[in-house]
A and B are shown apart, each in its own frame.
Chain A
Amino acid sequence: MIELAGINRNFEVGEETVHALRDININIGAGEYISIMGPSGSGKSTLLNILGLLDQPNSGDYRFNDQTINQLADEEQAKVRREHIGFVFQFFHLIPRLSAADNVALPLTLAGIAPEIRNQKAEAAMQALGIAERAQHRPDQLSGGQRQRVAIARAMITEPQLILADEPTGNLDRASGVDVVEALEALNHKGITLIIVTHDPELGQRARRRLKMEDGKIIGDNGP
Chain B
Amino acid sequence: MMRLADVFRYSLQAMLGHRGRTLLILLAMAIGVAAVVVLTALGEGARLYVLKQFTTLGSHLVIVLPGRSETSGGPPPMLGETPRDLTLDDALALYQSHAVGKVAPVVIGSAPVSWQAREREVLVLGTTAEMEQVRQLELARGKFINIDDPHRGAAVCVIGHTLRKELFGNQQALGQWLRIGERRFRVIGELAQQGHSLGTDIGDLIIIPVASAQALFNTESLFRILIQAKGRDSITAAMQAAEAIISKRHDGENDITVITQDSILATFDRIFTALTFAVAAIAAISLAVAGILIMNVMLIAISQRTAEIGLLKALGAPDMEIMLLFIAEAGLLSLCGGLAGLGLGMGGNFLLDQAFADFSITAPAWASLGGLSIALLTGILFGYLPAKRAAHLKPVEALTRRR
Contact = CB atoms under 8 A, between A and B. Distances in A.
B2 A78 contact: no
Q: How large is the interface on B (under 10, 10 to 19, 20 to 34, 35 or more residues)?
A: 20 to 34
Contacts, number: 77
A110 B2 contact: yes
Contacts of B402: 91
B29 interface: no
A187 to B, nearest CB: 17
B316 A107 contact: yes
B400 to A, nearest CB: 8
B319 A55 contact: no
B255 interface: no
Given A93-B311, A97-B13, A78 B396 contact: no
Interface stretch (A80-88, A123-131, A216-224): A80-88
Contacts of B311: 93, 95
Interface string B388-403: 0000001110010011
Main secondary structure of the interface of B (DSSP, over half): helix
Q: How large is the interface on A (under 10, 10 to 19, 20 to 34, 35 or more residues)?
A: 20 to 34
A79 interface: yes
Contacts of B318: 74-75, 78-79
Contacts of A109: 2-3, 6, 10
A182 B10 CA distance: 32
A112 B1 contact: yes
Nearest to A50: B396
B17 A110 contact: no
A110 B14 contact: no
Interface string A175-201: 000000000000000000000000000
A87 B313 CA distance: 11
Nearest to B401: A91
Contacts of B312: 110
B399 A93 contact: yes
A39 interface: no
B308 A95 contact: yes
Nearest to B316: A82
Interface of B: 1-3, 6, 10, 13-14, 16-17, 307-308, 310-321, 394-396, 399, 402-403
8 contacts: A87-B314, A89-B399, A93-B307, A93-B311, A109-B2, A110-B312, A115-B6, A158-B316
